[in-house]
Amino acid sequence: MTLPVANRREAAREIWRLSRGHRLRLAAVAVVGLASTAVDLVVPVVIGLLVERVQAGTADLGTVLTLTATMLASAVLGAAGTAATIVLATRVFNHILAALRERLVERGLALPQHVVERAGTGDLISRSSDDVTAVADAAPTVLPAVTVAVFTIVVSLGGLAALEWPYAVAFAVVLPVYVLALRWYLRTGPAVYRAERAAMSARAQQIVESQRGWATVRGFGLAPRRHQAVMTNSWAVAVQGLRARAVQSMFNTRLNLGECLSLAAVLVVGFFLVDRGASTVGGATTAMLLVLRLLGPVNQLMFVIDTLQSALASLSRMIGVATMGAADEQRQTGAAVRVRDVAFRYGDGPLVLDGITLDIPAGQHVAVVGASGAGKTTLAAVIAGIHPPSTGTVASPDRTAVITQEVHVFAGTLRDNLTLAAPAATDHDLDVALEATGILDQAPDGLDTIVGTGGHPLTDAQAQQLALARLLLANPDLAILDEATAEAGSTHAGLLDRAAEAALAGRTGLVIAHRLSQAAACDHIVVMEHGRIIEAGTHEDLVAAQGTYSRLWDAWNSTRAPNVDSAPHDTATAVRTRPCSIR
């Protein structure tokens, strides 16, 4: 599933909305642009006059100098006006584009994780980089060019008609050639540009994935395969780029044909008019110059439409994300969790969760146990809102924190690492959290202890404690501990269990329990097998029921050493990696 692309109407509506507050400036861009174009058109008229005077033998030095000065003045004024138009337009569009980019980034960051995962982060990155650049490059030239071209066409056609109507007709007869060229281009161009952009997105995705997973790529010797994939994508970009350039050149050929036909038409008409005395040579000269003057902006308009098409394709992709609904599929329920008849499958794969119904009342702690692959982590992810259920409904607290085995320690002080979760927390708050999770006495410089790369080394268990302290500070309504203490050795397991207990106290909790002592400490336990809940109840109920849990409990008791924390992990082995996330 890719991220959405806005259609033309949605894009226009969003641009109009973003232009609020800049409309006066936009009007100024149009006025200055139109005025400078009008001034530019003085030149052909003056040259025609000059030709007439020379032909009539009335062109004295004074007349020539006056007309030349008029032409120079209009050329300078026209150039200044065009420059002013470009500066004004650039400013206005930069403001609009900045607002759009902000919205894009804001929406992109707020997108549910599963949406980004399915679409690929490369697509999102490409939209906020390649597409923004494409639009930014196009914006300052498009508006002035369109304004100038439209005005020039209207004024020049009016001028031709005022000279002699057949001139205007001669040009108008050729206009369908341009219209047909444009229609062909608009039909062909956008799809080619979109394909080019999509290929660029796919390439970005491949590169991002290879860079992010470099450790895996190296570890499994996947470099040649990744390299091949990037090569294939780069080739696709090149092929799509060639197709786009081919379309451009076919368009140019059609424009050249239009240019040639319009000049020929006006020349032929001019010849007949002058021959019959219906027009002067000066008039015919002005007509030809007006047509020549027209061709520039007409071609410019066509070329801008080319850029415009490309920019619009990018703009539609940006607006598609910027206007994505903020709706979170999950319903919120205060601090309780309600799961109803949930089924889930990864892509087109088999059902991984099937008919799951579960209630976690506010403030209660539920443990999930089961063999590896039973679906425990998937259930936690569905409840956390990381994956939407395939069918059924999930209602869970808005503020949910998930801790997995993979905890990231940022380079910096313990204080830096903790204030990530609660920027407004005081040192006292941080100390309390560190103390509750038992890490404070292991930090030589207290909150100022430097950790992360090059700093005081933290064991995996200490990193877990740090994550639990962050969770305490973030103070979510629901804490999901997915294998948070699974890998702790005998010395640390007790510490981690106590840290987890402190982190869960006073909030709703879902614990993927690997040591059954963890499960026994919870209010309620569900046992999963092949994506289904096969048993549920309190520890005592389940032990008394003599079912799967009871067998697991006996096995676990028989293998554990006198120190309960030294027991092996008995219900699951695989470790899933997902960063601690707080919604």
> Which residue, 270 or 389, is less far from ligand ATP as judged by CB?
389
Q: Among 309, 208, 306, 315, which Cα is nearest to 248's?
A: 306
Among 277, 325, 349, 562, indicate the residue that binds ligand ATP (CB under 6 A): 349
The distance of closest approach from Cβ of residue 352 to ligand ATP in the complex, given in angstroms and rounded to an integer, is: 4
Position of tokens 């030239």?
A: 141
> Which residue, 523 or 529, is less far from ligand ATP as judged by CB?
529
Among 194, 203, 293, 376, indicate the residue that binds ligand ATP (CB under 6 A): 376
The distance of closest approach from Cβ of residue 138 to ligand ATP in the complex, given in angstroms and rounded to an integer, is: 39
Q: Is 328 left (phi over 0), alpha (psi -120 to 50) or beta?
A: beta
With beta carbons less than 8 A apart as the criterion, state whether 486 and 511 touch. Answer: no
Rounded Cα–Cα distance for residues 302 and 182 (Å): 7
Alpha-carbon distances of 20 from 23, 88, 247, rounded to whole Å: 6, 16, 36
Q: Among 456, 425, 423, which Cα is nearest to 442's?
A: 456
Among 48, 189, 283, 370, indicate the residue that binds ligand ATP (CB under 6 A): 370
Q: If binding is defined by CB under 6 A, does position 494 make contact with ligand ATP?
A: no
The distance of closest approach from Cβ of residue 371 to ligand ATP in the complex, given in angstroms and rounded to an integer, is: 7
> Which residue, 168 or 527, is less far from ligand ATP as judged by CB?
527
**Which region among 10-18, 75-83, 371-379, 446-454 touches ligand ATP (by CB under 6 A)?**
371-379
Rounded Cα–Cα distance for residues 199 and 205 (Å): 10
Q: If binding is defined by CB under 6 A, does position 574 make contact with ligand ATP?
A: yes
Rounded Cα–Cα distance for residues 567 and 559 (Å): 7
Rounded Cα–Cα distance for residues 378 and 356 (Å): 11
Rounded Cα–Cα distance for residues 227 and 214 (Å): 12
Q: Which two tokens stand for residue 345?
A: 């499958």
Contact track, ligand ATP, 62-91, x by CB under 6 A: ------------------------------
Q: Which two tokens stand for residue 418?
A: 């903790």
HSE-up (13 A, CA, CB side) for residue 390: 16
Q: If binding is defined by CB under 6 A, does position 189 make contact with ligand ATP?
A: no
Among 81, 122, 159, 375, indicate the residue that binds ligand ATP (CB under 6 A): 375
171, with CB counted inside 10 A (0-12, 13-18, 19+), is buried
> Which residue, 337 or 458, is less far from ligand ATP as judged by CB?
337
Among 148, 315, 352, 383, indicate the residue that binds ligand ATP (CB under 6 A): 352
Q: Are strands 337-345 and 351-360 parallel, antiparallel or unpaired?
A: antiparallel
Q: If binding is defined by CB under 6 A, does position 559 make contact with ligand ATP?
A: no
> Which residue, 354 or 497, is less far from ligand ATP as judged by CB?
354
Q: If binding is defined by CB under 6 A, does position 470 make contact with ligand ATP?
A: no
> Which residue, 298 or 479, is less far from ligand ATP as judged by CB?
479
**Which region among 133-141, 346-354, 356-364, 460-468 touches ligand ATP (by CB under 6 A)?**
346-354
**Which region among 217-225, 249-257, 370-378, 559-567 touches ligand ATP (by CB under 6 A)?**
370-378
Rounded Cα–Cα distance for residues 474 and 433 (Å): 10
Point out which residues bind ligand ATP (CB under 6 A): 346, 349, 352, 370, 372-378, 572, 574, 576
